[in-house]
């Protein structure tokens, strides 16, 4: 196959875009999609200070690499989840990446916060650990961004992540989630505050970010989390991969159609019926509950359990 842009031998075939690219033209394609994603959704400008959440995986490191290359002011944030089987490797990948590319890095250790994931899991066995872990990560993304004055918080979610989540929210007709899913969540000042959140890779598939990370020589982390199951999420991604193979380009059309025509409708309903928020009595961040936010409640439960017995860490 020949490169669609320059006629050299192609190294990446992209049926969704009816194209194939050599390495140089693939990098140009990738940059073009990131820039289009930033421009179309007005995510941020070069005046912004951007905190990029770095898990150590290919997407977040590819995002930090590309934004730095494009001249944006980027700082990394890594949440060390304290999971012995996977967190040290994730942290080492982030540390190594930031050192190699001269990127400032902030690390938040969940063990020091009384929220190491194995302890949370042991204390709250009746709750799905991934939803608690997601809540904890989002809490610290928001908190560090607000406390340290960053104007934007960026995550490496790609098009496949977004479409799988949208599909799952649609299957449940979850209006609260459908009303604010998308590449941009505006900052809010009241109730303790929400940082502006963006997903600049929303136009790029997992295949495209994986190729980008590989061709750029990015050393990422892929030791799976021992608690990872993700069955329904993976199943939805597989369904979409089959659909995309039969109908190239469908995934991006579906997601863009939602952003243009679906989300505004759900946002209108949620604005009328949305939850009342107030600042958490302990950390001051927004919550819909009477006193403590979800993460401060988890911390209190873990603290009580810890006094009793030490959980066995995997």
283 binds, among Zn ion, ligand SF4, none (CB under 5 to 8 A by kind): Zn ion
DSSP 3-state assignment of 76? strand
Q: Which residue of 53, 225, 280, 302 would you call a contact of ligand SF4, by CB under 6 A?
A: 225
Indicate the residue among 63 and 133 with the shorter CB distance to ligand SF4. 133
225 binds, among Zn ion, ligand SF4, none (CB under 5 to 8 A by kind): ligand SF4
Tokens representing residue 98 in the block: 């930031």
C-beta of 234: minimal distance to ligand SF4 in Å? 11
* Selection from 31, 25, 41 nearest residue 260 by Cα: 41
**Any contact of residue 130 with ligand SF4 (CB under 6 A)?**
yes
Indicate the residue among 225 and 285 with the shorter CB distance to Zn ion. 285
Indicate the residue among 25 and 93 with the shorter CB distance to ligand SF4. 93
**Cα radius of gyration (the chain):** 20
**Any contact of residue 134 with ligand SF4 (CB under 6 A)?**
yes
Angle of the 129-147 helix axis to the 294-308 helix axis, nearest 10: 120
C-beta of 226: minimal distance to ligand SF4 in Å? 7
CB-CB neighbours of 244 under 10 Å: 21
Restricting to residues 225-284, which ones interact with Zn ion according to CB under 5 A?
280, 282-283
- Per-residue buried b or exposed e for 115-152, using 16+ beta carbons within 10 Å of the residue's own CB: bbbbbbbbbbeeeebbebbeebbbbbbbbbbbeeebbb
Determine the Cα–Cα distance for residues 160 and 261; give it in Å rounded to an integer: 20
C-beta of 56: minimal distance to Zn ion in Å? 26
Restricting to residues 94-133, which ones interact with Zn ion according to CB under 5 A?
none
Restricting to residues 98-127, which ones interact with ligand SF4 according to CB under 6 A?
117
* Selection from 28, 33, 101 nearest residue 61 by Cα: 101
Restricting to residues 226-255, which ones interact with ligand SF4 according to CB under 6 A?
227-228
Q: Which residue of 52, 93, 129, 164 would you call a contact of ligand SF4, by CB under 6 A?
A: 129
Contact (CB, 8 A) for 302 and 120: yes
CB-CB neighbours of 228 under 10 Å: 12
| H or E, element range at 92 | helix 87-101
Contact residues for 110 (Cβ-Cβ < 8 A; gap 6+): 79, 80, 81, 82, 116, 117, 136
Tokens representing residue 48 in the block: 């912004």
**Any contact of residue 12 with Zn ion (CB under 5 A)?**
no
**Span interacting with ligand SF4, options 23-31, 61-69, 104-112, 128-136, rule CB under 6 A:** 128-136
**Any contact of residue 303 with ligand SF4 (CB under 6 A)?**
no
Size of residue set near ligand SF4 by CB under 6 A: 9
Q: Which residue of 133, 159, 295, 302 would you call a contact of ligand SF4, by CB under 6 A?
A: 133
* Residues binding Zn ion (CB under 5 A): 3, 5-6, 8, 22, 25, 280, 282-283, 293, 296
* Residues binding ligand SF4 (CB under 6 A): 81, 117, 129-130, 133-134, 225, 227-228
């Amino acid at each position: 196959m020949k490169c669609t842009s320059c006629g050299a031998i192609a190294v990446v075939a992209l049926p969704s875009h009816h194209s194939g690219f050599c390495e140089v033209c693939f990098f140009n394609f990738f940059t073009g999609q990131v820039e289009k994603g930033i421009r179309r959704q007005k995510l941020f400008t070069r005046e912004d200070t951007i905190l990029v959440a770095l898990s150590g995986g290919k997407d977040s490191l590819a995002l930090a690499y590309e934004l730095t290359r494009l001249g944006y002011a980027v700082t990394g944030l890594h949440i060390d989840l304290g999971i012995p089987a996977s967190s040290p490797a994730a942290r080492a990948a982030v540390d190594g990446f930031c050192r190699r590319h001269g990127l400032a890095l902030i690390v938040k250790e969940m063990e020091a916060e009384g929220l190491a994931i194995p302890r949370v899991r042991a204390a709250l066995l009746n709750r799905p650990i991934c939803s608690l872990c997601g809540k904890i990560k989002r809490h610290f993304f928001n908190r560090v961004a607000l406390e340290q004055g960053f104007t934007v918080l960026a995550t490496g979610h790609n098009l496949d992540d977004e479409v799988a989540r949208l599909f799952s929210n649609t299957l449940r007709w979850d209006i609260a989630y459908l009303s604010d899913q998308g590449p941009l969540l505006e900052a809010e000042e009241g109730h303790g505050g929400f940082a502006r959140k963006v997903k600049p890779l929303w136009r790029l598939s997992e295949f495209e970010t994986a190729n980008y990370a590989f061709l750029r020589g990015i050393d990422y982390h892929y030791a799976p989390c021992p608690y990872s199951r993700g069955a329904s999420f993976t199943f939805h991604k597989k369904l979409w991969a089959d659909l995309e193979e039969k109908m190239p380009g469908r995934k991006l059309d579906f997601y863009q159609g939602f952003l243009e025509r679906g989300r505004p409708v759900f946002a209108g309903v949620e604005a009328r019926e949305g939850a009342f928020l107030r600042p958490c009595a302990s950390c001051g961040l927004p919550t819909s509950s009477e006193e403590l936010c979800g993460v401060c409640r988890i911390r209190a439960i873990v603290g009580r359990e810890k006094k009793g017995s030490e959980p066995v860490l995997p």
